[in-house]
Amino acid sequence: MGMVGGGIGSFIGDVHRKASMMDGLIELVCGAFSSTPEKSKKSGKALFLPEDRCYASFEEMILKEKELPKGERMDFIAIVTPNHMHFGPAKLALENGFHVVCDKPMTLTIEESETLVSLVENTGLHFALTHNYTGYPMVKQAKTMIQKGDLGKIRKVQVQYLQGWMATDVENTDNKQASWRVDPSKSGIGGALGDIGTHAENLLEYITGLKIAELAADLGRFGKGRILDDDGNILVRLDNGAKGTMSFSQIATGEENNLAIRVYGEKGSLEWGQEEPNKLLTRWLDKPLKVFTPGGNDLYEEAQTNRVPSGHPEGYLEAFATIYRNFAINLMAELNGEPSPQKEYPTVKDGLRGVKFMYAAVQSDKNNTAWTPLS
């Protein structure tokens, strides 16, 4: 793996490094860790990388790594930068034969996302988007239960992602995580919408297997002087006729990382929350409440992804690592000339869905919460 971004002091870069190395399948071999060449070199040195594999820019890294023999050069890049720096490295990597792992939202515009989709389709290269919450075993159990019809036809979905870390004007302090998120030139058209709203959208579509057909969005800007949203409530209509609600916020005082989803079908319902991720609650018309936990012998095969024995909790880093593990297994099979195991992870097409979701929500909000198609 070669890394773009994630230099000294980076939060998400460190998460990616830990997650990618958890299963012993991926090695960090090079990086362009900062837009400042000196900081990139210093970051690479701190990670014990050879000086000649610590690059001043992502362009230099991609082009110089391409010159190295197969088996020595990087196999893929991980893009762990603010939003505005996703498209350039992803495009250049794909054009030069490198696979890609990228943070969300995938790009700033729909046109950029469509370009990446075309490149992936034309090259056949692997592209993973780190919607890491799909990596939890109980999320995979929920998805499989719905896929197999255990809940019957889905009628109603409620999803929320509530945080409170921007309830004050933290962007006016030395909080780098806040400062770029309120800047449209770096964050794009969505604030909380792009940062956590896209996670809610992806989780809803991933678990239910349904698509949002249209939405009506009411976005809020409560922080003084903020241009981008920091709060939002959205009504959704799904492509099977089901109805849904979505609520996301970064000014919900006292909340930490309250991502949760409830799905109601004709025969039963389920509930999962990220702050207690090892419990999936299911309720039924004709039987009592049943709680699924990782490692149980009553799970579907797709949910048997935990790394530790039953009763030992796995969390955020492990879910993140599942994305990398599945990506690595598929990629290693290709590099070895073997049939693909078809391990799942969010793809470039999920990235396009997320960007289209943002644009539809912003358009709806500008039109006084008018129903807007998500095509």
- Segments making up each domain of the chain, as ranges: 2-129, 137-310+352-373
Inter-residue contact 182 to 225 (CB < 8 Å): no
* pLDDT band at 375; cut points 50, 70, 90: confident
Single-letter code of the amino acid located at 11: F
Residue 220 banded pLDDT, cuts 50, 70, 90: very high
Mean pLDDT, range 207-229, rounded to an integer: 97
Per residue in 304-350, pLDDT tens?
998 998 888 889 999 999 999 999 999 999 999 999 999 999 999 99
| Arithmetic mean of pLDDT, 192-218 | 98
Confidence of residue 8 (pLDDT cuts 50, 70, 90): confident
Return the SS3 of 211. coil
Give tens-digit pLDDT for 11-58. 999 999 999 999 999 999 999 999 899 999 999 999 999 999 999 999
CB count within 10 Å of CB 185 equals 10
CATH superfamily of 137-310+352-373: Dihydrodipicolinate Reductase; domain 2 (3.30.360.10)
Closest CA to 119 of 325, 337, 351, 374: 351
Domain 2-129 falls in which CATH fold? Rossmann fold (3.40.50)
Residue 209 · residue 264 · CB < 8 Å: no
Positive or negative: CA dihedral 211, 214, 216, 222: positive
pLDDT at 348: 98
Other Cβ atoms less than 10 A from the Cβ of 301: the count is: 8
* Spatial distance between the Cα atoms of 267 and 98, rounded to a whole number of angstroms: 46
State how far the Cα of 263 lies from the Cα of 179, in Å rounded to an integer. Answer: 35
Specify the DSSP element, H or E, that contains 89. helix 87-95
Half-sphere exposure (Cβ direction) of 195: Cα atoms closer than 13 Å: 27
> Is the CB of residue 260 less than 8 Å from the CB of residue 133?
no
Mean pLDDT in residue range 248-257: 98
Residue 29: the pLDDT is 98
Distance CA 211, CA 375 (A): 9
Judged against a pLDDT cut of 90, whether residue 9 lies above it is answered with no
Residue 296: the pLDDT is 87
> Counting runs of H as helices and runs of E as strands, what totals does the chain give?
12, 14
* Model pTM above 0.75: yes
CB atoms within 10 A of CB 219: 23
